[in-house]
Structure 1
Amino acid sequence: MTTPVRAEEATNSHYTAVSEMKGPTFDSSLECAVDKIELSLSCCKLADTDTFSKSDPSNSIIQLGRTEVIWNNLNPVFVRKFVIDYIFGKTLRLKFEVYDEKLSIQFCAKDLDRKDVFGTSDPFLRIYKLNEDNSETLVHKTEVVKNNLNPRWQSFEISVRTLCNNDYVRQAVVHKLIGYFTTSLEQLKSGAKFKCQNPKKKGKQKKSGEIAVLTAKIEHVYTFIDYIKTDTQINCLIAVDFTDSNGNPRDPKSLHCLNSNKPNAYVEAMEAVGSVIAEYDSDGLFPAWGFGARLPPDGAISHCFPLNDQPSNPYCKSIDGVLDAYKSTLDRVRLSGPTLFAPCINQAAGLARKHTDGSEYFILLILTDGVICDMENTCKAIVGASSLPLSIIIIGIGDADFEAMKILDGDEQRLTFQGQEAERDIVQFFNFSEFEKMKKGRSSNESTDCKMILAAEVLAEVPGQFLSYMQKNNLRPGQV
């Protein structure tokens, strides 16, 4: 994680800077004494993550240098020191960055050996990191290019930490079907060419073609936290199933039964997930809708109505406000059907479409007990919304058949509609019965822990979905 800090802020930001005064010199252009300060750096409690970030670039920033890499350590003490000028009366601002990077790279080759009986080859690359004990760890494998002695492989991205533990001169080994070569990140980013070595050949015949780097670009990676720190707003939207398959709310067996001694599953899910998202929602306002109910006064069925009964302002204050509106809704509507997701998804997409600049991100939480009756329209709505700053979390309540939800989830295969593939996987499904099994027989304190586990499980994919939107649209933290 990149944390830009001023020198005087270093200790509070988990950085330590120790200065040692050296003998003063004199800078005639400044007409004041210039002292030399030697900085020693250490960090503590670094984020344990594979993707770090950078701060906004500035033409006025000059890189003084880099420390050495310390592997697998969240509390590093760096040996390398930096000597800088100190001028009394002049404000000196320093920025310290702790980061990881990713490498975007593409390889090509020419004049490779013929290995197939028909005089061609099917080459591919395998890239291995060299470990401290000289063992090799496979970190990437390219696609196979069929019947080609001059292949061009597709470009790919790899974390610099994964490739070489952030050490630009650490050796890596690239194997292919025909031979191998060794290199380093420093060489790769310079666009070098490499002779492919075939260990089975002798003397001058040992070469088996040439591998070239077409493009190599090192990029800093922004994290979810970077965007949150720079005021990207997270908005929680809630849609609740009021179809009659839930059972009459006055029946103790109903999924919507309100028992003063025990919250129903809808309430538990909204409390557990909503309370976590609320920490990232600065205005504390939750748009909340219901679907599948007959509304007063004429009993017309609605598949997207505001829980607070205010069509022009469906926002509830805090998650408690949502729960109050939910309970009030149960008293004024009649459960009906069918179960349609598309109207609420389209409503959420409409809000997200107004904020595509990275300033806001939306999470739609759908709580449902039944099988989707508008699967085609739901797929259409999700594929259409996949280009927007939106994630959809579906929580299945009760013991219905939720197989269709796995299709929407898109983990195994990207969702499509009429041949059009979703730009991003934006849906996650969670079966609430798994949570109920987990908390069964546990004490009240342990049940609280279970709620935290539930929220973590349900929200696990959101940061990745969030970053996929920001990266796809080239949106940097704080640029709005």
Structure 2
Amino acid sequence: MQYSPKQLKAKLERTETAVNNLNPVFGVKFQVDYHFEEIQKLRFALFDEDKCATQLYEHDFLGEFICTLGVIVSNKKLHRPLILANGKPAGKGSIMITAQELSDNRIITLTLSGRKLDKKDFFGKSDPYLEFHKQGEDGTWMLVHRTEVIKNTLDPSWKPFTVPLISLCNGDVDRNIKVLCYDYDNDGGHDFIGEFQTTAAKMSEAQNSVEVEFDCINPKKQKKKKNYKNSGFIIITRDYTFLDYILGGCQLMFTVSHEFAINFDPTNPFCSGVEGIAQAYSACLPHIRFYGPTNFAPIINHVARFAAQALQQEKAAQYFNLLIITDGVISDMDETRDAIIQRLNYPCPSSSLAWATQTSLPWSS
């Protein structure tokens, strides 16, 4: 019995296809918002992919498991038999679901590459991909992330990817992480190249200009060959995100328009935190009059000068945000456009300008 298009209309997520595999471990993760006061039913349907099919419901239906999100949240891990659409057991097939609460909002972005990996294909090189596994409390390993396959190379460069730390290592940056390297085969019999273990803390030592290199080791080859060193190298480069800067003590600089200090102190035109900005803004409103023209270029250049001064003083951990609130009227459009373009190429790697506009305010500039 197959699913109809209507039944599959509310599809939440679809995993990748595990080729020629009766015991697949899927790498795709998906997030669901849990509402304690609601009954949230989930259906996990398993299909055998038919390459001639163009729609999901055209694939061969293998079985399903239906439960509420509350059951998954309370159990963390479920292992249940697959049920056919007519309510009868599918046979020996079963499904295992593992859930984790994403209470930690920290993330890590990684860029990986390989060098001098072992040649596995007889008529070519290798088609390498990586798998990241985290170690559970019981010592077992669970798949966290799988990279894309890079065809016919021994020196692959995979796309950067971002993963929550809670998923990668349960938020513990010193928890063991195992990275496995395989040569992809179309028949599903992927060849093992090598592996290494690391931690999020170790990978975080990599910076945009500094790489962390790991020996990719095949234990079987290591035992057989006395002169065996490795099966290549895996290089990790960490890309820093805006959140990384915030967690590292980054300072946020906010300016308002028309180059006057809203605290009326030009010698010290700074406010303490967002609350300080709001207080100063409220205090200055009764004492100013709105008028035109509305020129944006001067304030853009003004903030850029602040950024340049910070760079000269080697205050790298500063992030400059320019918030412009307007009714949409711009009197110096050409000058504003030129100022924005110039600042896009501004030689200040740790500072930038954020542009925001808002319309339909109760006054005009």
Q: Which bracket does the TM-score occupy, shorter chain normalised?
A: 0.3 to 0.5
**TM-score normalised by the chain length of structure 1:** 0.34
Bigger-Rg structure (1/2): 1
**TM-score normalised by the chain length of structure 2:** 0.43
